[in-house]
Homo-oligomer: A and B are copies of this chain.
Amino acid sequence: MNGPPTDVARLLVSCPDRHGIVAAVATYLAGAGANIVASDQYSTDPEGGMFFLRMEFHLDGLERRRDSLTTGFAGVAEPFEMDWRMTFPGERKRVALLASRYEHCLLDLLWRWRRGELDCHIVAVVSNHPDLERDVAPFDVPYHHVPVRPGDKPEAEARMLDLLVGEVDVVVLARYMQILSRDFLDLIGCPVINIHHSFLPAFVGPDPYARARDRGVKLIGATAHYATEDLDAGPIIEQDVERVSHRQRADELERIGSDIERVVLARAVQWHLADRVFVHANRTILLG
């Protein structure tokens, strides 16, 4: 990747499905001189369902034409009752990574970012522990230690909100082991992506790997999703599994689980950064 292209924009639309949406959008963009380089769409039901559209287009001199382009599109959007955004890959999203003591997701994201696989600015690492500061140092990202002591979680969350609100476009919980309050999720003002282990069947409660082992599961997995107040039940972005056997001890299952977590979380973050994830009701539509 040689930096994001500067003359490319994305148009993200959701609206009630009906005749003529694509024609209206494509005609507007063609009239503006844009070339649609990618387009994907989905309708929950052509008769009375919801329609989702992700278009990526190229337009010479985009930067100085952004305002007129968006103003003009508002006129297209209005009769279709579109919920819409235009995003500009040239303006990288700002990302904060929250972690605790486990380093596997955090380092994998930082490492992929340095390799150019995550098209964003990572502006902060926040942890409730100091342990990972040395690991983060080579990546030249500020490390904020915000401890959470029994009874002072509201204060800790307030400190994090001070650090992050208005400064970031997405928060990634890279195995951050504190439960974020509903207030935090309301106030942070941007999407929050979480990762957690998953099993067939599901195990609720402590020591899930030990319980998965006792049950003899043959597959263990991980799920990345948007955090909602019910922390582990938000819209699923990505999942994957790995095969295991009776021979693995619980700590080995956990290690395999860590490997899946870092891969699944990286994919979810990549897709979010590319504006590929639409949320509808409690599920995601992945376009692009």
Interface string of A85-122 (1 = CB under 8 A from B): 00000000000000000001001000100010100000
**Taking the complex as formed, is A178 at the interface, i.e. its CB lies under 8 A from any CB of chain B?**
no
Complex formed: what's the CA distance from A31 to B107 in Å? Answer: 49
**Taking the complex as formed, is A273 at the interface, i.e. its CB lies under 8 A from any CB of chain B?**
no
Copies in the complex: 4
A23 to chain B, nearest CB (A): 4
**Taking the complex as formed, is A3 at the interface, i.e. its CB lies under 8 A from any CB of chain B?**
no
A2 to chain B, nearest CB (A): 9
| Chain A interfacial residues counted at CB < 8 A | 69
Are B23 and A35 neighbours in the complex by a CB distance under 8 Å?
no
Complex formed: what's the CA distance from A279 to B69 in Å? Answer: 36
Are A23 and B29 neighbours in the complex by a CB distance under 8 Å?
yes
A182 to chain B, nearest CB (A): 21
By a CB distance below 8 angstroms, the chain B residues around A41 are: 36, 38-39
Contacts A36-B22, A46-B58, A58-B46 hold; do A236 and B216 have CB atoms under 8 A apart? yes
Interface string of A201-215 (1 = CB under 8 A from B): 110000000000111
Contacts A30-B23, A215-B236, A216-B283 hold; do A35 and B46 have CB atoms under 8 A apart? yes
Interface of A is mostly: mixed
Contacts A214-B283, A283-B216 hold; do A241 and B200 have CB atoms under 8 A apart? yes
A181 to chain B, nearest CB (A): 23
**Taking the complex as formed, is A150 at the interface, i.e. its CB lies under 8 A from any CB of chain B?**
no
Contacts A39-B41, A41-B38, A138-B135 hold; do A284 and B216 have CB atoms under 8 A apart? yes
By a CB distance below 8 angstroms, the chain B residues around A29 are: 23
Complex formed: what's the CA distance from A40 to B216 in Å? Answer: 18
Chain A interface (Cβ < 8 Å from any Cβ of B): 1, 17-27, 29-31, 33-43, 46, 58, 104, 107, 111, 115, 117, 134-135, 138, 198-202, 213-219, 221, 223, 235-236, 238-241, 245-247, 251, 255, 259, 263, 281-286
Kindly list 17 other residue pairs between chains A and B, CB separation below 8 angstroms, not including A107-B111, A198-B200: A18-B35, A22-B22, A22-B26, A23-B29, A24-B30, A36-B41, A39-B39, A42-B247, A200-B221, A200-B239, A214-B283, A216-B283, A218-B236, A219-B221, A219-B240, A241-B241, A246-B286
